[in-house]
Structure 1
Amino acid sequence: MILTEFDYVRPIGLDEALTLLSGTPDARVLAGGQSLLPGLRIGTEQARLLVDVRHLEELRGVTREGATLRVGALTTLAELAAHPLVLAEAPELAAAARANGDPQVRNLGTTGGNLAVTGRPTDLPVAAIAAGAVVELAGPDGVRTVSAEEFAATGAPAPDLITALLVPAGGPAAAFEKTADRASRYPLCAAAVRITPDGPRIAVTGATARALRLRGVEDRLRGGEFTTPAVLAAFRAEPRELFVPGRGTSAEYLGHLAGVLTARALARAAGATG
């Protein structure tokens, strides 16, 4: 039972949805509902209006536009995990979607919803950061884009709506690794990597306050081999305060775990190109 009182509307198109979101304080988007609906039930989420966008086909699907994959915000995690273009060109994103929750969550949860979750780590943001992706937002002032790294820090300011994730097509030299919290299945720590001609792109979440790109680790590994000792040494050189203790873990443990997962991901990514 949901005790919170709110109004509900099902707009016929994106323009109407944006008008409703911009015209109503505390309006919330209903897409997959995997985070919002449980929050409404227990009172941790509030809404005066639910704007149901689940039927807007213009926000679904994966297409290739030149050297970029366009992932509609309503594309489900299950669709993302199995899509041939994503598997071939952004395997870290497919793996992150596949690692998310259980089949029911993946069949209902959406790409945009997973990116927009605040207050706890989710899987897609770290993969999007490693891939160099950008988030497309629509709002009263039109359409704009923001890097996945910046979006992880700021979120989507109301009343903007996530419309797509734009991912550079990079081939198989990418990977994602995760150790899940046993109770919640959210990442205790997750790492995503993409190996580029300029060196590795590395991002972690769960062990840190939010999904972060670790440029210091990248710099220490650039030009060398991605051996486990080298990766762990690169992580040991990071400030300990970067890693946030909690859930029975220490900063030292989480820093080591992040290094182990990154080493595994780099080995997998490097092996995929061999």
Structure 2
Amino acid sequence: MILTDFDYVRPTGLDEALILLGSTPGARVLAGGQSLLPALRAGSATARLLVDVRRLEELRGIDGSRDGALRIGAATTLAELAGHPLVLDAAPELAAAARANGDPQVRNLGTVGGNLSAVGDGRATDLPVAAIAADARVELAGPDGRHSLPAEEFAAAGPPRGFLVTALLVPAGGRAAAFEKTADRATRYPLCAAAVRITPDGPRIAVTGATPRPLRLTEVEARLRATGPTTEYTYTTEAVLAAFRAEPRELFVPGRGTSAEYLGHLAGVLTARALKRAQALIRI
């Protein structure tokens, strides 16, 4: 199928892009196009206008503050995110999630904003769950200026019409974080993925793929805090699996030949692996 049923424009600045998105019903943001263009070709998505934001300098780059917080531009590619030294040091779960996306071609074209926004189309992608574990916020620009939402709140609804993801804001947290994934063999989207970050208050745990949307599992966190680590920050696989077995089965969405019981167990296994990886980073 030849993609010709829409108009295309490359704005020269962020303000122009926002005007186009806000004034044109059916306008869609084009960044890497790794999800949108195949969906348009397959007929599962439609667009009246594609607004290409890939070259907007306002949306590019990774900057760090003195306290370790990061601002990651929405047009930053997944390849750039995966290998950036600031991200590897301060938010390794985000770097690992970016590395887990597809193949090198996908990572060279796909963007941070596009991967985060895919949740609005009902797709499980890797960055949202890592952003939730990192306690990150998604910065948006729209008619009323800029504001930000917690990553989990953004994952529940996706970008509102007329708004554009401009950056991912990651608070200072340190390197005690990790990401693990089991991919669907056909699509490479996560069948299940887990991201964790160890904090002084205990672990932050988020899961996607096996759940209706990317979720922070606060009840699992609470059970692990109640059990307590066996040594400093160390949780056994048995304790993690027990915490997941106590979750209601309806939390996990069966499909693609899987059951809720299997996905709940898989989420626990991946979380246990991620916690061990994060615990090892504390000692580096």
- TM-score, normalised to structure 1, is 0.98
For residues 136 and 17 of structure 2, the distance between their equivalents in structure 1, rounded to whole angstroms, comes to: 25
| 2:26 is aligned with 1:26 | yes
Aligned 8 A contact 1:4 1:41 in 2: no
**Does residue 127 of structure 1 match 2:136?**
no
1:249 maps to 2:258: yes
Q: CA deviation at 1:4?
A: 5.1
SS at match of 2:131: helix
3-state secondary structure, aligned to 1:122: coil
Query: Aligned equivalents of 1:180 and 1:24: distance in 2?
Result: 36
Q: Structure 1 runs of 4+ off > 6 angstroms?
A: none
Counterpart of 2:46 in 1: which secondary structure? coil
Kindly provide the amino acid, as one letter, of the partner of residue 205 in structure 1.
T
Q: State which drifts further: 39-48 or 69-78.
A: 39-48
Distance in structure 1 (CA, Å) of the matches to 2:35 and 2:27: 15
Q: Is 1:57 the equivalent of 2:57?
A: yes
Output aligned runs, 1:1-274, within 5 Å. 1-3=1-3, 5-67=5-67, 68-117=69-118, 118-222=121-225, 224-225=228-229, 226-274=235-283
Structure 1 regions of 5+ residues with no counterpart?
none
Which one-letter code corresponds to 1:272 in the other structure? L
Number of aligned residue pairs: 274
What's the CA shift for 1:169? 2.4
The residue identity in structure 2 corresponding to 1:180 is: A
Percent identical pairs in the alignment equals 78
Deviation at 1:248, TM superposition (A): 0.3
State the one-letter code of the partner of 2:196.
V
RMSD: 0.9
TM-score relative to the length of structure 2: 0.95
Which whole-Å CA distance do the structure 1 matches of 2:4 and 2:183 have between them?
31
SS of 2:187's equivalent?
A: coil
**Cα separation, 2, equivalents of 1:120 and 1:52:** 21
Structure 2 stretches of 5 or more lacking a match?
230-234
Rounded to whole Å, the distance in 2 between the matches of 1:50 and 1:2 is 15
C-alpha deviation, 1:104, in angstroms: 0.3
Tell me the CA shift for residue 202 of structure 1.
Answer: 0.1
Further displaced range: 219-228 or 142-151: 219-228
